[in-house]
C-alpha cells in the first residue's frame, strides 16, 4: 500500500509541476502555440484524473481493510 501511495504522490507532484511550468512559459516560447499547450496540458489533466481515481481506490481499500480488521 505504501508503495502505491508513493507512486500516486510522485505522479501527482510531477503532473502539477509540469502544468505549472507550461503555464508559466506559455508566453515565453514554452509551447509553440495555444493548441500545443492545450494538447500537452490535456494529457496532464488526464493524468491528474488518474491520480484522483487511484487515491479514491486506495481510500476504499483502506476502509475495506479496516472493516475486515473490525470483524
The single residue listed with the C-alpha cell 508559466 is 24
Reported as a single tens digit per residue, the pLDDT across 12-69 is 787 777 767 766 665 555 555 556 666 666 666 777 777 788 888 888 888 888 888 8
Task: Find, among 22, 63, 61, the residue nearest to 45 by Cα.
Answer: 22
37 Cβ contact list (under 8 Å, min separation 6)? 22, 26, 30, 31
d(CA 56, CA 59): 5
pTM of the model: 0.49
Amino acid at each position: 500500500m505504501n508503495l502505491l501511495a508513493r507512486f500516486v504522490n510522485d505522479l501527482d507532484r510531477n503532473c502539477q509541476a509540469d502544468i505549472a511550468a507550461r503555464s508559466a512559459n506559455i508566453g515565453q516560447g514554452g509551447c509553440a502555440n495555444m493548441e500545443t499547450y492545450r494538447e500537452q496540458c490535456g494529457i496532464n489533466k488526464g493524468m491528474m484524473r488518474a491520480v484522483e481515481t487511484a487515491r479514491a481506490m486506495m481510500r476504499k481499500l483502506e476502509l475495506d481493510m479496516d472493516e475486515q480488521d473490525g470483524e
